[in-house]
Structure 1
Amino acid sequence: MTINFNIHQAVSLTTTNQPKAPIAPQQQVTDTDAKIEAEAEAEPEAIAAFTGEAQKSSPYSALLNPEGFDFSNMSINEFKGIVDAVRKLESDTQRASGNTESLRGTFWGDVMDVKGSLEGINFQNRGFSSSDKIDITAFFELGVKEAQQMRKEHPRSFSKVVGYARSSLSTVEKLTSESFIKEYQAKAVEFLKSQDTPLIKTQA
Structure 2
Amino acid sequence: MKLLGAVLVTLTLLLPGAWGSQETRTCVFQSLTEEDRKFCRGDLEIIYPEVGDVGCTYIPKCHGYRQRLSLEWGEPRVRFPRAKKNMKYVLVMVDPDAPNRAEPSLQFWRHWMVTDIPGLDLRVGNVDGKVLTAYTRPKPPRHSGYHRYQFHLYMQPAGEIIELSDEERDSLGTFNLEEFAEVFDLGRPVATTQFITKNYED
Q: TM-score range by the shorter chain?
A: under 0.3
Q: TM-score, normalised by structure 2?
A: 0.26
- Of Structure 1 and Structure 2, which has the larger fraction of its residues in strand? 2
- Of Structure 1 and Structure 2, which has the larger fraction of its residues in helix? 1
Q: TM-score, normalised by structure 1?
A: 0.26
